[in-house]
Amino acid sequence: MLPEYRVGNGYDLHRLGADHPLRIGGVDIAPDGGAIGHSDADVAMHALVDALLGATGGGDIGRRYPDTDPANRDVDSSRFVAETMADLRKAGWDLVNADLTIVLERPKVSPFADAMRQQLAAALGTDAKRISLKAKTNEGVDAVGAGEAVACHAVVLVVRGPTQAPA
């Protein structure tokens, strides 16, 4: 029997301007002007959850963690990633790698990228070498370019079967 591989794609966007720090990938990168949302509004954690659910046919984050549920208010979104990954492992899946792209006009993400990779890897229960995180601006275009929103794209590869995820 060959190992089964699945790819998953996730995307998230949040408006900016909340009266709390801007948290991306588990790292607070600005003291205020945070993302507006029911939880901590961490676009990277949210996009990652959707990618994991997408890879395994698990629906989406809105269905799994509804913003109408008071239990999800102001929570640390790394919990969503950890719980989702735990469910995948129960079903026999392991993460091969994850690749994320943050789209944010300011501040610059690159000084925080390694810390974000560590936080994302910790939430996933994996090594940071399996996590890639890139960042770009939206070149001043649209709401993200105007500094009104932050977005994140995530892709994951998961595997289950007779072999472990390749090193």
**Shortest approach of Mg ion to residue 160 CB, angstroms?**
27
Cβ-proximal residue to Mg ion, closest one: 46
**Shortest approach of Mg ion to residue 37 CB, angstroms?**
6
Site for Mg ion in 35-94 (CB under 5 A): 46
The rounded distance, in Å, linking the Cα atoms of 37 and 106 is 19
> Is position 12 an interface residue for Mg ion (rule: CB under 5 A)?
yes
Q: What's the token pair of residue 48?
A: 């990652």
**Shortest approach of Mg ion to residue 14 CB, angstroms?**
6
Give every CB contact of residue 11 below 8 A, 6+ residues apart in sequence: 47, 50, 151, 152, 153, 154
**Shortest approach of Mg ion to residue 63 CB, angstroms?**
13
Specify the residue, 46 or 130, whose C-beta has the smaller distance to Mg ion.
46
Are the beta carbons of 159 and 96 closer than 8 angstroms? yes
Task: Residue 52: name the closest of 30, 77, 34, 74 by CA.
Answer: 77
Specify the residue, 23 or 130, whose C-beta has the smaller distance to Mg ion.
23
Residue given tokens 């890879």 in the structure block: 55
Specify the residue, 96 or 133, whose C-beta has the smaller distance to Mg ion.
133
| Interacting residues with Mg ion (CB under 5 A) | 12, 46
